[in-house]
Amino acid sequence: MASNASAVPASGVRRGLLKRVSSSLLSIAWLLLALFMMSIGRFVRFIDICYQMIRTLYYWSDPRVHAGWTFALHFLFWLAIEIFITSRALDESK
């Protein structure tokens, strides 16, 4: 009985393929976000956060409008994009 110990199991091949595909997709997403943020993204982010902040201050005493939570979500969204771009740039520089 001959054993084929050097053969790679099928699950290992799938994991390797999945890892390469997900890494490629993350790299493409990083590149597109980085290009967007360098060109007009900063302006869009500034306008969005300023608008949400003014809206939050205007509707502060109105319990029917959840402007504070909307501002927080917008701020966290832009912060997450910045963290993603910065962390991937640091990983690729190693």
Q: How far is CA 4 from the centre of its chain?
A: 43
Say whether pLDDT at 10 is over 90: no
Q: Does residue 1 belong to any structural domain of this protein?
A: no
User: What is the pLDDT at residue 50?
Assistant: 96
Confidence grade of residue 1 (pLDDT, cut at 50, 70, 90)? low
Q: Does residue 68 belong to any structural domain of this protein?
A: yes
Structural domains of the chain, count:
1
Biggest CA-to-CA distance, the chain: 80
Q: Does residue 4 belong to any structural domain of this protein?
A: no
Q: Write out the H or E segment, with its range, that includes residue 14.
A: helix 10-36
Burial group, residue 5, by CB count within 10 angstroms (0-12, 13-18, 19+): exposed
Q: Does residue 54 belong to any structural domain of this protein?
A: yes
Q: Which domain holds residue 86?
A: 10-92
Q: Does residue 2 belong to any structural domain of this protein?
A: no
Phi, psi of 59 (to 5 degrees): -95, 20
Say whether pLDDT at 67 is over 90: yes
Q: Does residue 24 belong to any structural domain of this protein?
A: yes
Model confidence over 68-85: pLDDT tens digits?
999 999 999 999 988 988
Place of tokens 């502060």: 60
